Each structure stands twice: as C-alpha cells, then as structure tokens.
Amino acid sequence: MSTFIMVTRLESDAARSPRAFEQLEKSTMAVVRSQCPDVQWLSSYAALGPYDYVDIFRATDIDTATKVSALVRACGHARAEIWPATEWSHFKELMRSMPAEV
C-alpha cells in the first residue's frame, strides 16, 4: 500500500452552514468507502490556509487514489489534489542506497 496526502478546498456553495460540514463529510466518506473499500484512512485535519482539509490515506495504487480524489470532488463539491508520500524512514533508506556522489 502507498501513502497519499489529499488536500481539499470546498466550493463556496458546498456547505451553507457550520453544521453542514459534518453532513457533507459523512455522505462523501460513505461513497468513498463503498467505492474504494480497501483504502485505509490514516488521519484528517481541518486546515487554515488555501485548503480546507488535509487527509492522509493508504491505497493499493495510484488508480485507487485517483478514484478517491474524483469521488471527493464529485460528492464533496470540492477541489482536491493528491500527493504521493514516502515515510521519512523509508526515504532515508532510499537515500543511503544511492551513491555518495553523482
């Protein structure tokens, strides 16, 4: 499984009240879970800045991550970006396996 970071920004008309955010999340995640049952959700954050949410999840491949992004965009009335991520410990292993100088 690979790790992905998804940043999401809601469209301006996606949630018309503060309580609508939770309902939008529940309905969107229900669809994502039904269409992508193997995806493991690791964490979710509300963010201040250019994005409203940051989610971290694991998926079997880029195609599955793409489906998650498409479902969030369609059901969540949002813009979403998916970034593949490498855990820091694994990144260090990769770097150690490379030549000292290139």
Q: How far is CA 99 from the centre of its chain?
A: 33
Is 101 among the domain residues? no
CATH of the domain at 86: 3.30.70.1060
Is 102 among the domain residues? no
The string of pLDDT tens digits covering residues 16-26 is 788 888 888 89
With beta carbons less than 8 A apart as the criterion, state whether 82 and 69 touch. yes
> In 3-state terms, what secondary structure has residue 10?
strand
Q: How far apart are CA 53 and CA 36, in angstroms?
A: 20
Smallest CA-to-CA distance from 73 within 5, 18, 12, 11 is with 11
Is 41 among the domain residues? yes
The string of pLDDT tens digits covering residues 14-57 is 777 888 888 888 999 999 999 999 999 999 999 999 999 999 99
Which residue range(s) make up the domain with 53? 2-96
Q: What tokens appear for 31 in the block?
A: 């669809």
Is 67 among the domain residues? yes
Number of domains present in the structure of the chain: 1
pTM: 0.87
